[in-house]
Amino acid sequence: MYYNYWFVFSKACEYGIKATIFIAINSYDGRRVSPKEISKEIDSPTAFTAKILQDLVRHHIIKSVKGAYGGFEIDKDTISKIKLAQIVNAIDGDQIYKGCGLGLQSCNEAHPCPVHDKFKLVRDDLKFMLEHTSLEELALNITSGASFLKI
Amino acid sequence: MYYNYWFVFSKACEYGIKATIFIAINSYDGRRVSPKEISKEIDSPTAFTAKILQDLVRHHIIKSVKGAYGGFEIDKDTISKIKLAQIVNAIDGDQIYKGCGLGLQSCNEAHPCPVHDKFKLVRDDLKFMLEHTSLEELALNITSGASFLKI
DNA sequence: AGTATTTCGGATATATATATCCTATTTATG
DNA sequence: CATAAATAGGATATATATATCCGAAATACT
Ligand code: FES
Ligand code: FES
């Protein structure tokens, strides 16, 4: 059997998205959070999550404050401006938007793979969805109890 | 950096889809093909492709004939009945249709993750596409020169 | 200045997917 | 029956993703 255990996003990306949401929620209250708190809340391995947080800092999606009383935070103003696509891009790259569904070297209208036309529709829908979903709405859905970060 | 190099389908699944299309094309001409021919035509590692072919045989998607003058084939009658979804299911399983986009234990309307509503739409589109794309049309697009299996 | 706290980042370990190799088994044909 | 040709399948190797560990650097507070 050649079953895989994943779909669309890497584990790193799943953790990154959930972590960013949790940081946003806490930033609304002016509270910084640590990798330990985050990983507990999103049910992820702490050290691995910390690596991903570093990556998100480098991509200027979240901010880190070193030292005592430090932690991770997001500028309140930017929470509504950050789109899911930016987080996914920072961690998984942009092949998700551009890559060929059947692994040809590139997805090319002029040299399409057998599923190109149909695959492109779905892929573009995914792209549109990611580009139009804001961190703000994801965070608000958690605080309102409409959605959950774990289990 | 935590970039991944894949998207949606595993390599095994990509090879499986392309191999099945190539087998279908040859079965229209009553010709059996070997893993060597297949892997050359779809630009994949031969031995690995052979493993996937075995898997497809076990799932009754293709037929194998052992011994001299053997090879892989598909009943002409079934080519139009086989859907892309069956191939994907055989190799990558059904998590692609059912799994949570953010890795929660299960995708559950009553306990949704932050992206559930939006993700479900895209996932269901993908499911519909796979279930309504026949092996026949994929094969015909190759023979007509409208699409390609490699490069 | 000293200390506790916290992120940063390199090195390493583990799990999984991908790929290869070699032998056994099957079968058409001479 | 012998031989050649072909798939089946176990064992093994490699690449990548995931996960852990530990010391270095930065910062708030005393
Ligand atoms: S060429 Fe394969 S998806 Fe476009
Ligand atoms: S719960 Fe996450 S996609 Fe449905």
Mean pLDDT of B82-87: 98
pLDDT digits (tens, 9 = 90+) for A128-139: 999 999 999 999
Binned at pLDDT 50, 70 and 90, residue A5 comes out as low
Probe target for ligand 1 pocket from A120, A121, A126, A127, with the most ligand atoms within 8 Å of CB = A120
CA B65 to C1' D3, in angstroms, rounded, equals: 19
Q: What is the mean pLDDT of residues B73-83?
A: 97
Q: How far apart are CA A145 and CA B4, in angstroms?
A: 32
Return the bridge partners of B138, or none. none
Extents of the domains making up chain A:
11-144
Q: Mean pLDDT score of chain A, rounded to an integer?
A: 95
Centroid of ligand 2 to alpha carbon of B113 (angstroms): 5
8 A C-beta contact, residue A22 and residue A42: yes
Q: Tens digit of pLDDT for each residue in B106-144?
A: 999 999 999 999 999 999 999 999 999 999 999 999 999
Residue B20 has pLDDT above 80, yes or no: yes
**Does the CB of A83 have a partner CB in chain B at under 8 Å?**
no
Q: How many CB pairs under 8 A join A and B?
A: 141
Please check the confidence at residue B32 and state whether its pLDDT lies above 60.
Answer: yes
pLDDT of B5 above 60: no
Q: What are the pLDDT digits (tens) for B52-63?
A: 999 999 999 999
Whole-number Å distance between alpha carbons of A104 and A41:
39
| Ligand sitting nearest the alpha carbon of B109 | 2
Q: What is the pLDDT of residues A88-97, one digit of tens each?
A: 999 999 888 8
Mean pLDDT of the A77-102 span: 95
pLDDT at B6: 56
Whether the beta carbon of B57 falls within 7 A of nucleic chain C: the reply is: no
CB A8 within 8 A of CB A96: yes
Looking at residue A108, its pLDDT comes to 97
Q: Taking the CB of residue A98, how many other CB atoms lie within 10 A of it? A: 12
Region A11-144: CATH code? 1.10.10.10
